[in-house]
Amino acid sequence: MKIVLVALALVLNLTVCGQPQTEGNTQAPVSAAQDESSANTGADSGSAILVAYFSATGTTKVLAEHAADILHADLYEIVPETPYTAGDLDYNDRGSRTSIEQNDSGARPAISGSVENMGQYDTVVIAHPIWWGQAPRIISTFLESYDFSGKTITTFVTSGSSSIGSSQINLHGLCDASVTWIDGTRFSGSASREDVAAWLNQIGILAKSTESNENTMMIRVGDTVLTASLADNSSTDALRELLKDGPITIDMEDYGNFEKVGPLGTDLPRHDEPITTGPGDLILYQGNRFVIYYDTNSWTFTRLGKIENVTGEELGKILGGGDVTITLSLE
């Protein structure tokens, strides 16, 4: 089953959830593995998952990026045709733009651009802030702009103190009867990547994602969970078989100020070849040692995969300057 995550945003023309509109400025989502600065401009990766997000202040954006990374999703930012200013967001001003919109159930703020390939996704996760106890009206715009018939939709919201309230009920009411709706949750602004992953696992979305992404592996370093794409060879086949029996914990040492290396505790098949590594590369050395590179090196060894969505500097900070313990798992 394909999956769509939508973290609320804005769309142009509206009808009902399940009735698409023709829109200009069509944009392709980008893979979560792509640089987020290219969001809404790159070609989609063919992923079964879409994370589309609306975030006026940046809080929802961070959690949407976590969700997209965890689920190996395409990421799409829903951008309002007319951006919201600080004055627009002043809830103390009854004449502010958002006060007026939120007090008008028929308000439908226009969206700049659209998802050009919504048909390839089967499940939608909608993420949005809570404004005046409800989803921003732009979420209604988004839901009414595409055909979601037969898809699965769930939501997560962000707020400082407001509950999820009736926002889900009202959004569900915009959808076709054929839509499967999964009750969502609320996250505070301090929610972590692990909080998002736990919720996705609880509602079964993470399991579906894992089923459709057999060539991925999770690497836990302290409170940080990294996602890696595995190479296609008998070494990773053997590693996956080991991980099906449970997570593997490895005590790693720093070597050469460019890698962390530690014993796997068993031998895997080798496919050694000359390789120049880059940050995030996962390597099998001498058949029984697991290596994470956070800088470059050239040697002959077996490629296992690569950590996604992290720079060498970021990875170096996550791994730290000395010894580190990591845990490998399939979810």
What pLDDT, on a 0 to 100 scale, did the predictor assign at position 39? 42
Of 159, 177, 104, 122, the closest CA to residue 6 belongs to 122
Fold of the CATH domain 4-211: Rossmann fold (3.40.50)
Same fold, 4-211 and 215-329: no
The whole-angstrom separation of Cα 214 and Cα 217 is 8
The whole-angstrom separation of Cα 127 and Cα 52 is 8
The answer, yes or no, to whether residue 66 has pLDDT greater than 70, is: yes
| Total length of the chain | 331
How, if at all, do strands 281-285 and 259-263 pair?
A: unpaired
Domains of the chain, residue spans: 4-211, 215-329
Fold of the CATH domain 215-329: Cyclophilin (2.40.100)
Top mean pLDDT of 26-35, 154-163, 187-196 is at: 187-196
The answer, yes or no, to whether residue 203 has pLDDT greater than 90, is: no
Bigger pLDDT: 18 or 280? 280
What pLDDT, on a 0 to 100 scale, did the predictor assign at position 34? 46
User: For the chain, what percent of residues have pLDDT higher than 90?
Assistant: 51
Task: Give the mean pLDDT of 224-229.
Answer: 87
Bigger pLDDT: 179 or 250? 250
pLDDT tier at 291, thresholds 50, 70, 90: very high
Q: What is the pLDDT of residues 130-172, one digit of tens each?
A: 998 899 999 999 999 999 888 888 888 998 878 887 888 899 9
What pLDDT, on a 0 to 100 scale, did the predictor assign at position 1? 45
Q: What is the pTM of this model?
A: 0.59
